[in-house]
């Protein structure tokens, strides 16, 4: 803030307004939702138990899980992440990479959710 007062507010605002194009839109909240592609959804729906559990989850969890799978740049990474998500959902668990807690991956989801 002291810097802004010495160089002027407009110069400081302009510096913060310019965002490095290389780092633009790297967070899930900055990009539009990326739902599963048709092939990924077909593979997910093939495991009925996993698909039913996934659909029963809150919209925020589903959106984040889909983004986590589809944001991978390499096809093999997308497939690996999708396989992990399907496996966790088949066991009626939320995948730890989506919830952010590896310790809580083995804790069953409460029935009220």
Q: What percent of the chain has pLDDT over 90?
A: 41
pLDDT attached to residue 52: 96
Confidence of residue 55 (pLDDT cuts 50, 70, 90): very high
Confidence of residue 44 (pLDDT cuts 50, 70, 90): very high
Lowest mean pLDDT among 13-22, 40-49, 61-70: 13-22
CB 44 within 8 A of CB 54: yes
Average pLDDT rounded to a whole number, residues 12-37: 66
pLDDT attached to residue 103: 53
The packing angle between helices 38-46 and 75-90, to 10°, is 30
Average pLDDT rounded to a whole number, residues 52-76: 92
Residue 43 or 17, more confident: 43
Residue 107 or 72, more confident: 72
In 1-113, where does DSSP find H-type helix?
2-7, 9-17, 38-46, 48-56, 59-70, 75-90, 96-99
């Amino acid at each position: 803030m002291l810097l802004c007062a010495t160089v002027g507010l407009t110069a400081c605002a302009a510096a913060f307004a310019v965002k490095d194009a290389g780092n633009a839109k790297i967070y899930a909240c900055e990009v539009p939702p990326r739902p599963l592609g048709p092939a990924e959804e077909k593979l997910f729906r093939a495991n009925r138990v996993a698909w039913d559990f996934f659909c029963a989850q809150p919209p925020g969890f589903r959106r984040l899980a889909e983004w986590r799978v589809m944001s991978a740049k390499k096809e093999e990474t997308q497939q690996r992440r999708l396989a992990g998500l399907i496996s966790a959902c088949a066991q009626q668990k939320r995948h730890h990479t989506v919830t952010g807690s590896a310790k809580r991956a083995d804790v069953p989801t409460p029935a009220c959710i």
